[in-house]
Copies of this chain bind each other. A is one copy, B any other.
């Protein structure tokens, strides 16, 4: 079972890196529970989603704003039907040409040979600053 999980996660990473939407779709469970954690008022593709159709819309929205230029899994941990991956990524912001470099961490679960749970984390404060091309102004936080 671990082997299957790893094969599915590896294939998902390859398909996504190669921009192969059909292969990605084939690996997404119809009933997937999905969330990219982050500010949806800034990146509308962030936040919770349910089901393959919503997830494919999210991936299309990301691809509309950002061109993926690097997707390098550094660590992939598999146990049973679950996996975690830490991935070095770079994207070009299409509207500005800015290059965003960030680490993603994905927590996944597979069922029926597909990904049925996907939760993605990144340092979103840093990602927003990279996308703006400037520092966020933060009032002093009482400490």
Contacts and interface: CB of A to CB of B under 8 A. Distances in A.
Given A38-B123, A107-B86, A95 B142 contact: yes
Contact of A78 (B77, B124, B126): B77
A105 B78 contact: no
A71 interface: no
A119 B136 CA distance: 24
A16 interface: no
- Oligomer: number of copies: 2
A142 B131 CA distance: 8
Contacts of A134: 139
A65 interface: yes
Nearest to A86: B107
Contacts of A42: 125, 138, 141
A69 interface: no
5 closest pairs, A vs B, by CB?
A: A84-B84, A124-B125, A37-B123, A95-B142, A121-B121
26 contacts: A38-B126, A39-B126, A41-B138, A65-B143, A75-B107, A77-B77, A77-B78, A77-B79, A77-B84, A77-B107, A78-B79, A79-B79, A84-B107, A96-B142, A121-B121, A121-B123, A124-B124, A124-B125, A124-B126, A125-B125, A128-B136, A128-B141, A131-B141, A132-B138, A136-B136, A136-B138
